[in-house]
A and B are shown apart, each in its own frame.
Chain A
Amino acid sequence: DAKTTQPTSMDCAEGRAANLPCNHSTISGNEYVYWYRQIHSQGPQYIIHGLKNNETNEMASLIITEDRKSSTLILPHATLRDTAVYYCIVGGYQKVTFGTGTKLQVIP
């Protein structure tokens, strides 16, 4: 699976959009981009995934660059409950390998 690079931490004001970047320059053609988050002392939660096109669901939007070497997860209106570690993962259909993720702190 391709390696990903994410900032260690980010802050976001409550109610504002949180934009979390991820670099995955070695992604191969059949690998998906997945985003998960982990709230303290809980199991990770699936957020969204995509291959080439931008994706949106009830939780977030995923923007993938045309060359697929990077992506951005957007939480449109961050709340305090969105404070968590966000993991960007690139891979196929089997095991999910976690990097260090981005610790997002939503500030009141």
Chain B
Amino acid sequence: GAVVSQHPSRVICKSGTSVKIECRSLDFQATTMFWYRQFPKQSLMLMATSNEGSKATYEQGVEKDKFLINHASLTLSTLTVTSAHPEDSSFYICSARVGGYEAFFGQGTRLTVV
């Protein structure tokens, strides 16, 4: 199947700093990518839809100024958590769909804000 790669897999940052997470589609072009957040023992929550060459669409309750999404190319979307705080500590996952059917997910990024 198609491969979606995330980097880094784990990151620890100090409170108040910003962290960038990359999501790459390795063997296909993705005009749309999706960003999710998952807290411990909870399901994945969709944060935003990332569209190549245009602004991201954020789900209700997600702060667009805090979670900056850039989708500058057909193979790369980035999520920047700005001024991170301990409550932003979570598992962040990106995905892309191929052919409109199955979605492929990255391996996730474990963010810990200390």
Contact = CB atoms under 8 A, between A and B. Distances in A.
Interface stretch (A9-17, A18-26, A71-79, A91-99): A91-99
Interface of A: 32, 34, 36, 38, 41-46, 49, 87, 93-101
Given A49-B102, A100-B43, A101-B43, A93 B97 contact: yes
Given A93-B100, A95-B49, A96-B95, A43 B105 contact: yes
Interface string B92-114: 01010100111111111010000
A98 B102 contact: no
B93 A49 contact: no
Contacts of B4: 43
B32 interface: yes
A81 B76 CA distance: 31
Contact of B44 (A32, A44, A45, A94): A44
B61 interface: no
Contacts of A100: 43
A71 to B, nearest CB: 16
Given A95-B34, A98-B43, A100-B43, A45 B105 contact: yes
Contacts of B36: 98
Contacts of B6: 43
B47 to A, nearest CB: 11
A33 B29 CA distance: 24
